[in-house]
Each structure stands twice: as C-alpha cells, then as structure tokens.
Copies of this chain bind each other. A is one copy, B any other.
C-alpha cells in the first residue's frame, strides 16, 4: 500500500508517520521508485506497537531501542528480553548505585534472588522509598500478600508467552509488561471501589452473577 493508505488505515497523520520514519521507529517502505514506496501489514503492526508504547509514556528514542531489539533479537532470548524490559519506564533521575535495602528485604522475603543489575530492583527501591516517605510503609503483612498475588499473576503471564519465535516472545514480553500495567492498576482501583462500597456503605456482597442487561457472562 502507499503512504496515503497507511495513513487512513492506521489513523496516524502523515506528518507523524514522517516523523516516525525520521526517528527510525518505523521502517521505511520498500521503494518502488524515486517517489513511491510500498508499505505492508508489518507497518500497521509497527504503528500499533508505537502507539501502545508511546501511550505508556515512552519517549521516542526508547521506542527506537525496543524496536531494534524486536527486529534483531540476539541468541540469548532471556538477555534480549531483559534489555527490552529495562527500556520501559519509569526513568529515575538520580544515579542507581545504592544499596537497595528495602528491595533486598522484600526479595529475600519472597525467596527471589537479589541482582542489582535488574533495573526493576532500583524501581522497587524507589517505589518503596516513596511509600515510606509518605507514611504508608510496606509492612510484612502487606509484603506477604502482595508477593503471593503478584507472583500468581506473573506465573500466568509467563505461561501464556508465545514460544513460536524469539521476535514474538520479545514483543509479548515488552507489550505484556507495558500495556498490562494499566490494566492491573485500573482493576485494582475498581476492586477498591467495590470493596469500599461494601465496607463503607455496609452493602451486602453481590454474588458473581450476571447483572440485568448483561447476559454474556461467559461470552468473549
């Protein structure tokens, strides 16, 4: 397809597509002449990826890093995925050379190895500093429950990871991490609402049945 068609099919304005091309996050179409080029489904897919990552707050140059890893995953899949995930937000401002005492305690408690090379360790440390600074520290009780539930989620995530190609595995890992975080956050807020409603308003617990007008309980 030509650019104009890519524009209307993707919904991305031409100026923006040019911008993505310039920034090297969208691969150029196959040139069929000096002023014509041909784009395919992989361009649509790439645009969806860019949209998703940009929507998750990634600056364009980080997206560039990720698309390069997807386009060219090396031999070591685990390593590649690690680097791709490391590119995701949040981006701390200070240096990351601290001791991570809070994160260490959490990991020790959960029986996970402490490897300061994981950027997520630093993210966890900063997040724990923030909750502490604000007076809602991570108590043992909370840690135990959070750890158990989060691990349950993570195990399922991994179980559902595609095994057909390294490319799709990297994409799955990046997107699964980035785009499911808002899903989890929204579900938690709704669960808060629901639980709070029952506690604060003293309402009875609704059984998990189909509400009126919403009959597709098991529908896709």
Contact = CB atoms under 8 A, between A and B. Distances in A.
A192 B145 contact: no
Interface string A128-141: 10110111101111
B90 A182 contact: yes
A190 B191 CA distance: 24
Interface stretch (A12-20, A25-33, A64-72, A110-118): A110-118
Q: Is the interface of A mostly helix, strand, loop or mixed?
A: helix
Copies held by the complex: 2
A150 B195 contact: no
Nearest to A57: B57
B210 A108 contact: yes
Given A153-B188, A214-B108, A216-B108, A130 B179 contact: yes
Contacts of A195: 151, 154-155, 158
Contact of A136 (B57, B148, B176, B210): B176
A58 B113 CA distance: 33
B208 A158 contact: no
Contact of A134 (B105, B131, B153, B179): B179
A39 interface: no
B156 A192 contact: no
